[in-house]
Amino acid sequence: MDDSVESSFERLLLNLGSDKSRRSYKIDWDRYCRWLEERKINVVAARPRHVEEHILSLQEKGCERSTCGRALSVIRAVYSILVRDEMLETNPAREVKNPKFDSTPNTPHLNEEQVRQLLSLPNETWKERREHLVLCLLFGLGWRRSEIARMQVEDFVDGTVTGIVKGDKPLTVGVPAWLLEKIESWCVFANIEAGPLLPRAPQDKKGVSDDMVYLIVKDAAKKAGLKITPHGLRRTNITIGGELGVTLKERQLSVGHSSQSTTERYDKARDAAKNAPGQVFADIVGGVRGTGVTAAVAAFRERKEP
């Protein structure tokens, strides 16, 4: 990559909002540049067919749709800067589309017996209990690892939890009674009254990162002899929920998936705070079936009152 292209790319990185985004952009752009270099193609001489071939090569290597889409988005963004800096007249990635993918999800998920196996790991030490709660939150709510990682005790009010999900959208859903009981038990054990629900260490004021959540699941899966990821537990929630009779509407809402209609989405959001679809998992996790305000909710209220 010549100096002028590298300079433009560095300016683009400086305008990104986070170190994580900068790392992601650098990985995707460097990979594309190496691909061009192997074929002796200059970055500014690349044509749409070259960009398309690169994206197809990622697909052939087994990269998921999201990975290919992100790579294409990064390449478009960099070329857009090069056009602005007058190094190119047109953006060769502008009209390139993502290759077609099989719409069937390939993320591994667990059956009921495997969920029991995962949640029956030792649960005695501070670290073990925190990791157990991570697994319960991922499975019980079906939320993404980043959404679980930033949970605060204050997010739980009257049997519901509120968080910011993908697309910076606020979402409030009911929390199943068995999960509320596990949260309360953890807070009492770890002496947590406010702040991060999942601290990095005892008395630490910082919560776990989404990468730490991933490693927690990976380590637990290895101990249980299973193959699962945080996103796999999200799919497990959706799949088993359907098998146990939770409607598609309730599942879509509870995990924060977008609907086609804004009005319909808001109507569903009002339903979400009243229901806890994950309550159907009570028999799997050894909890008690039931709805409404549990002793755990009452305990939360009592702890928060001055």
**What's the 3-state SS for the chain?**
CCHHHHHHHHHHHHCCCCHHHHHHHHHHHHHHHHHHHHCCCCHHHCCHHHHHHHHHHHHHCCCCHHHHHHHHHHHHHHHHHHHHCCCCCCCCCCCCCCCCCCCCCCCCCCCHHHHHHHHCCCCCCHHHHHHHHHHHHHHHHCCCHHHHHCCEHHHEECCEEEEEECCCEEEEEECCHHHHHHHHHHHHHHCCCCCECCECCCCCCCECCHHHHHHHHHHHHHHHCCCCCHHHHHHHHHHHHHHCCCCHHHHHHHCCCCCCCHHHHHHHHHHHCCCCHHHHHHHHHCCCCCCCCCHHHHHHHHHHCC
Confidence of residue 253 (pLDDT cuts 50, 70, 90): confident
Confidence of residue 268 (pLDDT cuts 50, 70, 90): very low
Token couple for 12: 């683009």
Tell me the average pLDDT across 235-259.
80
Predicted local confidence at residue 251, as pLDDT: 81
Confidence of residue 128 (pLDDT cuts 50, 70, 90): very high
123-137, 164-178, 266-280: range with highest mean pLDDT? 123-137
* Domain residue limits, the chain: 3-84, 112-304
Predicted local confidence at residue 275, as pLDDT: 62
Tell me the average pLDDT across 195-210.
94
What is the rounded average pLDDT for all residues in the chain?
85
| Sign of the dihedral defined by the CA atoms of residues 19, 24, 28, 31, in that order | positive
Predicted local confidence at residue 15, as pLDDT: 87
Confidence of residue 264 (pLDDT cuts 50, 70, 90): very low
Token couple for 292: 């409404």
Q: How far apart are CA 231 and CA 238, in angstroms?
A: 11
pLDDT of 274 higher than 60:
no
Provide the percentage of residues in the chain whose pLDDT is more than 70.
85
Domain 112-304 CATH (choose: 3.40.50.1220, 1.10.10.10, 1.10.443.10, 2.30.30.100): 1.10.443.10
Predicted local confidence at residue 188, as pLDDT: 95
Tell me the average pLDDT across 189-217.
95
Per-residue pLDDT reduced to its tens digit, 9-43 = 999 999 887 888 899 999 999 999 999 999 999 99
